[in-house]
Amino acid sequence: MVLITGSSIPTLIEIFAYVYLAIGFACALYIIYDIWIRRHYQMMSIMNVVWPITAWYLGPLALWSYWHIGHLNTKNQGEKTTQGMDHLSKLPSNRHIITSHKGGKPFWETIFVSATHCGAGCTLGDIISEWAVFIAGTTIAGVMLFASYVFDFALAWFLGIIFQYLAIFQMRVISFETALKEAVKADTLSLVMFEIGLFGWMALVAFVLIGNLYPVSPVFWFMMQIGMVLGFFTSYPANWWLVKKGIKQGM
């Protein structure tokens, strides 16, 4: 099979890349505006960061989800919600606190938010790592993609644990060490499944569909966005299982 090199990528793919990147950035910027300018802060503070990152790769789906899920978990939904959260904060430290709108949200929505939370840490780590590997010119066995896998996973895991720790620490009154241990248990499997979807897709792109791509190309980031969408869906069953088993706290 003849690979398409970065310099011979069909113009149509480049157009798709620019369009979807623009859509992703537009969705992310709108959510940033709604949260930080219009002050629709999330009850779970880390979600103020998670939603814009998610919108960058999930695009309109993330925007729809933000309006149907995220807007029901803002800090300015009324005095009753605030009083309810004040009451929950006084519960014993061994109780799990779930921030959701009146009547609770459907289980699939809880898992969806948990998957976005996991995916945001992975996405941020992958973006930083891809640039770092490219600028440093790092390779493994002469292949930059393999180096990207190693550093992407390491940084994604590190940031994913931080994201999960911040969520656990806000939901439960426990020590730093306990929260950190639970963050590792809660996020590792879902992170692995997210990266399986992303890495599998990028291998297909590099070795079958297109060929070598680099972060300076918009097509590279378009392919990464597709991979992150796939990673979101490959991590969804893992998040479902983790929450069902009580290993991970639903969000």
Write out pLDDT tens, residues 175-224.
Answer: 889 999 999 999 999 999 999 999 999 999 999 999 999 999 999 999 99
Answer yes or no: is 69 within a domain.
no
Answer yes or no: is 166 within a domain.
yes
Answer yes or no: is 91 within a domain.
no
Range of the domain at 222: 6-15+107-244
What integer is the mean pLDDT of 92-110? 57
What's the pTM? 0.84
10: Cβ contacts below 8 Å, ≥ 6 apart? 4
pLDDT above 90 for 99:
no
- CA–CA separation, 227 vs 33, rounded Å? 26
Region of poorest pLDDT, from 44-48, 102-106, 213-217 = 102-106
What is the per-residue pLDDT for 71? 78
3-state secondary structure of 27: helix
Question: Which two structure tokens, joined as six digits, stand for 30?
Answer: 């709108």
Grade residue 77 by pLDDT with cuts at 50, 70 and 90: low
CA-to-CA separations, 185 to 50, 119, 141, 180, 216, in angstroms, rounded = 20, 16, 32, 9, 35
Number of folded domains in the chain?
A: 1
Please name the residue that has the structure tokens 């605030």.
82
CB 73 within 8 A of CB 100: yes
pLDDT above 90 for 139:
yes
Grade residue 9 by pLDDT with cuts at 50, 70 and 90: low
Answer yes or no: is 68 within a domain.
no
Answer yes or no: is 84 within a domain.
no
Q: Which residues of 203-226 are buried (b: 16+ CB within 10 A; e: fewer)?
A: eebbeeebbbbebebbbbbbbbbb
Grade residue 103 by pLDDT with cuts at 50, 70 and 90: very low
pLDDT above 50 for 91:
no
104: Cβ contacts below 8 Å, ≥ 6 apart? 98
Answer yes or no: is 211 within a domain.
yes
CA-to-CA separations, 129 to 41, 56, 90, 139, in angstroms, rounded = 29, 17, 40, 13
More confident residue, 234 or 71: 234
Answer yes or no: is 219 within a domain.
yes
CA-to-CA separations, 214 to 91, 111, 130, 146, 222, in angstroms, rounded = 50, 33, 9, 13, 11
Residue % of the chain over a pLDDT of 90: 72
What is the per-residue pLDDT for 234? 97
Answer yes or no: is 30 within a domain.
no
